[in-house]
Amino acid sequence: MTGVREPQQERSRTTRRRLIEAALDSFGERGWHGVTVAGIAERAGVSRGAAQHHFPAREDLVVAAVDLLGQSQIDELRAQAADLPSGASRIERVVEMVLNLYTGPLFRAALQLWSVAATDDALRDVLVPLEARVGREAHRVTVELLGVDESRAGVRELVQATLDLGRGLGLANLLTDDTRRRRQIVREWARTLELRLADSR
Amino acid sequence: MTGVREPQQERSRTTRRRLIEAALDSFGERGWHGVTVAGIAERAGVSRGAAQHHFPAREDLVVAAVDLLGQSQIDELRAQAADLPSGASRIERVVEMVLNLYTGPLFRAALQLWSVAATDDALRDVLVPLEARVGREAHRVTVELLGVDESRAGVRELVQATLDLGRGLGLANLLTDDTRRRRQIVREWARTLELRLADSR
């Protein structure tokens, strides 16, 4: 039995993954309004029937996409964590990672969804609880990476501010390449966090 | 002559202003794709011909709208500046002003435009230089309000980070009311800036 079922399950997972990735590319490039499940199926090289089996509506693809998106950001953070130095230079590396988190194509896709959700209640109802969960996890990983004690006064807010700053820098990088300016902000923000978090580590 | 020309000029200015405000409301509520110059004219209670005289294309309305949007934010900051206390509590008030700057309907409208511009080169070419100018002015006003010396090392980056954090908080406030969480971030960031800017004032 297992020999028959496993490849099927794996095929199904691959199909699902390809559809989600095609959806993210499509949302990022053409926005919510330019995208249909049928169009995403074609892009993914998957039959329309199979696509609709996995994702009956665009909203279902959004749930899966935001989940994948959030999870890959968290995974990326964790993967980089292995190479982190200890000591003071650790904070600068973590700040760099977090402030670069929202400058890629995944953030572009998310922004397209957010801007539509701002005027579309159905999409907003789907996105808000998802974003809250992804946000909480990003927060927890950042606390871990910084190695700070969140029960100390002010630590939670400074970690939140770092993630919010990251999203703001993602916005600033949307229409132009903001890498150089961001690099200087990373350095200064790291210095600031070192100062404020010195006795929370 | 003046008696005849002035009311005409004034009428023209009023028409223009009403069109821009209707455009901002429309972009914010329905997004770029849901909006036409004709629709905006109707919303503003202006004839289609008059609307097209002032703004031949949606892009022209965007230029005017972003200009108005940026300028009203700067004006708002300056208006509040008159009531600022001196001393340490000044920084907390300024931080509060800047971090609340991007939580209103104007930011919503701007975000709709940005997200479209991310996939539309013509709109991006219009927006980028405008945003750069508005950003520079917001930066200059913030430096003035804080009363800091920007030639000191790190000051420029901390002011930039404050504005980028404001935009990130605007994003966090897009789909839910983030006021309570933002208030705590304001308090903590104000404390941090006081510490970092203490010898730059």
Amino acid B199: pLDDT: 73
Q: What's the CATH code of the domain at A44?
A: 1.10.10.60
Q: What is the average pLDDT score of chain A?
A: 88
By residue range, what is the domain housing residue A34?
1-56
The residue-averaged pLDDT of A116-128 equals 87
Q: Range with the lowest mean pLDDT among A28-37, A143-152, B115-124?
A: A28-37
Q: B64 and B127: one domain? A: yes
Q: Which residues of A touch B167 (CB under 8 A)?
A: 167-168, 171-172
Q: A170 and A182: one domain? A: yes
Amino acid A171: pLDDT: 94
Q: A81 and A145: one domain? A: yes
Q: Which of B127, B175, B189 sits opposite A117 (nearest CB)?
A: B175
Q: What is the average pLDDT score of chain B?
A: 88
A166–B contact, CB cutoff 8 A: yes
Q: Which of B34, B56, B78 is the endpoint of a domain? A: B56
Amino acid A58: pLDDT: 84
Q: Which residues of A touch B163 (CB under 8 A)?
A: 168
Report the residue of chain A nearest B116, measured CA to CA. A31
Q: Which of B56, B73, B93 is the endpoint of a domain? A: B56
Is residue B183 packed enough to be buried (19+ CB in 10 Å), middle (13-18) or exposed (0-12)?
middle
Report the residue of chain A nearest B159, measured CA to CA. A185
CB contact under 8 A, B116 and A164: no
Residue B169 pLDDT exceeds 90: yes
Q: B12 and B47: one domain? A: yes
Contacts of residue A154, defined as CB under 8 A and 6 or more positions apart, other chains included, come to A196, B188, B191
> Predicted confidence band at B113 (pLDDT cuts at 50, 70, 90)?
confident
Amino acid B141: pLDDT: 93
Residue B3 pLDDT exceeds 70: no
Residue B114 pLDDT exceeds 70: yes
Amino acid A6: pLDDT: 63
Rounded-to-integer distance, Cα A61 and Cα A54, Å: 9
B158–A contact, CB cutoff 8 A: yes
> Predicted confidence band at A5 (pLDDT cuts at 50, 70, 90)?
low
Amino acid A66: pLDDT: 82
- What pLDDT digit, counting tens, does each position of A68-86 carry? 878 888 888 888 888 888 8
Q: A75 and A90: one domain? A: yes
Residue A1 pLDDT exceeds 90: no
Q: What is each CA distance from A50 to A9, A43, B94, in whole angstroms?
A: 14, 13, 55
Q: A32 and A75: one domain? A: no
Judged by phi (left if over 0) then psi (alpha if -120 to 50, else beta), residue A41 lies in alpha
Residue B37 pLDDT exceeds 60: yes
The residue-averaged pLDDT of B1-15 equals 74
Domain count, chain B: 2
Q: A160 and A92: one domain? A: yes
Residue A3 pLDDT exceeds 60: no
B174–A contact, CB cutoff 8 A: yes
Tokens of A138: 């990003």
A63–B contact, CB cutoff 8 A: no
- What pLDDT digit, counting tens, does each position of B66-111 carry? 888 788 888 888 888 888 888 778 999 999 999 998 998 778 888 8
Q: B188 and B162: one domain? A: yes
Q: A46 and A67: one domain? A: no
Q: A64 and A41: one domain? A: no
Q: A47 and A144: one domain? A: no
Q: Which residues of A touch B30 (CB under 8 A)?
A: 119
Amino acid A83: pLDDT: 85
A194–B contact, CB cutoff 8 A: no
The residue-averaged pLDDT of B53-74 equals 86
One DSSP character per residue, chain A reads -HHHHHHHHHHHHHHHHHHHHHHHHHHHHHTGGG--HHHHHHHHT--HHHHHHH-SSHHHHHHHHHHHHHHHHHHHHHHHHTT--SSHHHHHHHHHHHHTTTSSHHHHHHHHHHHHHTT-HHHHHHHHHHHHHHHHHHHHHHHHHHT--TTSTTHHHHHHHHHHHHHHHHHHTSSS--HHHHHHHHHHHHHHHHHHHGGG-
Q: A177 and A87: one domain? A: yes
b/e for B29-45, b at 16 or more Cβ within 10 A? eebbeebebebbbebbe
- What pLDDT digit, counting tens, does each position of A20-62 carry? 989 888 877 777 777 889 999 999 999 999 999 999 988 888 8
Q: Which of B56, B73, B92 is the endpoint of a domain? A: B56
A121–B contact, CB cutoff 8 A: no
